[in-house]
Chains A and B, each alone.
Chain A
Amino acid sequence: MPDVSFVLPLVLQSALLPFAVALVLLVAGRRRFGAAAPVVAAAAGFLASYFATLHAQWSPLPKVALDWVPLIVVAGAVAALVTENIRHAPARRLARLTVSLAAAALVVWPALQSLGAPKAALATLAIGVLVAAAWTLKAHAAARRPTPPLMLAVVAGGAGLTLMLDSSQSIGQLNGGLASVLAACLAFNVPRVRAAFSPAAAGLAVLMLGVLLANAHLYAGFSLGYVALLVAAVVADPLLSAFRRARPEGSDAAGWATAAVLTAIPVVVTIGLAVKAAQDSGGY
């Protein structure tokens, strides 16, 4: 059995605290913040987890790549709310791409010396375009069905477990914090008392997940294969939904269950590969 003194801080920092903060803000802020409540709750819950985990290392004047994360979350929350209120779809997509590219640039910037300018530019572009595309798909999904927080929580949780086994416990813990915040949003996303998981909330969640995975790949050697599997998990739900719109059959519940399974498969495969790699190397 794992030592409690090791596991307890992890559970507190990455599960209980972000879940509680997000839930309290969803309950208290539902009337005050209206549609912005899930965005505020997600950002605050994640920041609580971040500072509980990395408070001793964080510098308000960013020195390391992870120092940028709280600033990206705050700016990203504001940007997501503004972006999702833009009426014209092309302008909204352009705004998503701009925000995603800006966040990607901040993540890649500290690695400029190691990567070199061409690779850094390519990485920024790839991260920005992927995040913007996933944001668009998830925002679209959030406006139509309640599945995005569950699917994103599964991916973030899986990424967290994989990172804990693979390379970086701190980035793994932050993914765990994001998963817990999304779980709170999911728990509150029920009829009557619900604060709907808005497109802006979905956009912020995708942005946070993208920033964490980019950090993991660039700075902690998190393999591109794992990232590809997790990206596949993120887009499984919207792709299935598009397929079902083309061939409408079966109930919504059956569709959501299928989407959950299709999301879970690449996540489980990612965790399984990380467990095998850890076992093969003898663990430590």
Chain B
Amino acid sequence: MSISTTRRSISLALAVAGLAFSAASMAAAPAPAGNYKIDAAHSVAYFEVGHLGGVSRFMARFNDISGDLVVDAAPEKSKIKVDVKTDSIDSKHEGLDKHLKSPDFFNAVQFPTMTFTSSAVTLNAAGEGTVAGNLNLHGVTKPVTFRLRHVGSGKGMKGEQRVGYVATATIKRTDFGMGYGVPGAATDEVDLRINIEAIKQ
């Protein structure tokens, strides 16, 4: 092995180690405690469901999301409340959006908001845990536990403190009175994913 090759290998190893270290330190860095407001521009709620009984995975999102986070040094004292406007559903297809908003599915006129309010948060040192709480969807409130991942925290362009989380869960839509076309049109099991970026107030 030549000297130049050895130098390149050492440089590469140092670079990889540096990246790994910085990534690890970001993931491990706890979010600064405080009250946060969800940044609607950088947050989104998705759902994914099996189309036609499971032929494919269909995905759509809700564009209007708002809410508040209370981040505490003790994760179990943290809280989260998320409001999602059902009328903001976006499947990339106008006709399908209209159908999804109709009484066959979300019934957006009668139930304009879907809300999740946490009751218990756990988060380990690696930034992974759960958030349990009540999901109000289609006029029905049921307990749901999301898997929670603290993505990171840092400063925004204006120096404001920001935090990011991803919450995922699987629910049955029939539990929430959304039984039309199960499973022929769309499966009962629905995967939810909420990507949150919040700004410290």
Chain A residues with CB under 8 Å of chain B are 5-6, 54, 56-57, 59, 63-66, 110-111, 113-115, 166-171, 215, 218-221, 277-278, 281-284
User: Which residues in window 107-130 of B have CB below 8 A to A?
Assistant: 107, 109-110, 112
Asked if B110 and A167 sit within 8 Å, CB to CB, the answer is no
Asked if B96 and A219 sit within 8 Å, CB to CB, the answer is no
A170 to B102, CA, bound (A): 9
Asked if B139 and A63 sit within 8 Å, CB to CB, the answer is yes
Asked if A168 and B110 sit within 8 Å, CB to CB, the answer is no
Q: Do A281 and B94 form a contact, CB below 8 Å, given A219-B102, A219-B103?
A: yes
Q: Do A64 and B139 form a contact, CB below 8 Å, given A219-B109, A219-B110?
A: yes
Q: Do A64 and B93 form a contact, CB below 8 Å, given A57-B177, A114-B109, A169-B180?
A: no
Chain B residues with CB under 8 Å of chain A are 93-96, 98-99, 101-104, 107, 109-110, 112, 138-140, 174, 177, 179-182, 184
Kindly count the residue-residue contacts between A and B in the assembled complex, taking CB atoms under 8 Å apart. Answer: 76
In the assembled complex, 12 residue pairs joining A and B whose CB atoms fall closer than 8 Å, in A order, are A63-B139, A64-B138, A64-B139, A65-B110, A111-B110, A115-B109, A169-B99, A215-B103, A219-B109, A220-B98, A281-B95, A284-B93
Asked if A110 and B99 sit within 8 Å, CB to CB, the answer is no
Asked if A281 and B110 sit within 8 Å, CB to CB, the answer is no
| Contacts A64-B110, A64-B177, A281-B95 supplied; 7 other A-B pairs, CB < 8 Å | A54-B180, A57-B180, A65-B103, A111-B109, A169-B180, A170-B180, A281-B93
Hey, which chain B residues are within 8 Å of A59, CB to CB? 177
Interface residues of chain A: helix, strand, loop or mixed (majority): helix
Q: Which 8 pairs between the two chains have the least Cβ-Cβ distance?
A: A220-B102, A168-B102, A281-B95, A56-B179, A110-B110, A57-B179, A284-B96, A114-B109
Q: Do A220 and B174 form a contact, CB below 8 Å, given A167-B98, A281-B94?
A: no
Query: Chain B nearest CB: distance from A73 CB in Å?
Result: 17
Hey, which chain B residues are within 8 Å of A215, CB to CB? 103
A171 to B103, CA, bound (A): 8
Hey, which chain B residues are within 8 Å of A115, CB to CB? 109
Asked if B104 and A169 sit within 8 Å, CB to CB, the answer is yes
Least CB separation from A110: chain B residue: B110
A222 to B102, CA, bound (A): 9
Asked if B110 and A278 sit within 8 Å, CB to CB, the answer is no
Query: Chain B nearest CB: distance from A50 CB in Å?
Result: 13
A57 to B177, CA, bound (A): 6
Asked if A167 and B177 sit within 8 Å, CB to CB, the answer is no
Hey, which chain A residues are within 8 Å of B95, CB to CB? 277-278, 281-284
Contact of A219 (CB < 8 Å), options: B94, B107, B138, B180: B107
Hey, which chain A residues are within 8 Å of B140, CB to CB? 63
Query: Chain A nearest CB: distance from B56 CB in Å?
Result: 13
Least CB separation from B53: chain A residue: A5
Query: Chain B nearest CB: distance from A53 CB in Å?
Result: 9
Contact of B103 (CB < 8 Å), options: A5, A170, A277, A282: A170
A282 to B92, CA, bound (A): 12
Q: Do A64 and B103 form a contact, CB below 8 Å, given A5-B184, A169-B180, A169-B181?
A: yes
Hey, which chain A residues are within 8 Å of B182, CB to CB? 56
A139 to B83, CA, bound (A): 48
Query: Chain B nearest CB: distance from A144 CB in Å?
Result: 37
Hey, which chain B residues are within 8 Å of A168, CB to CB? 99, 102-104
Q: Do A218 and B109 form a contact, CB below 8 Å, given A65-B103, A278-B95?
A: yes
Least CB separation from A169: chain B residue: B104
A167 to B107, CA, bound (A): 11
A167 to B96, CA, bound (A): 8
Least CB separation from A6: chain B residue: B184
A61 to B174, CA, bound (A): 17
A281 to B99, CA, bound (A): 13
A169 to B95, CA, bound (A): 13
Query: Chain B nearest CB: distance from A142 CB in Å?
Result: 31
Contact of A66 (CB < 8 Å), options: B93, B99, B103: B103
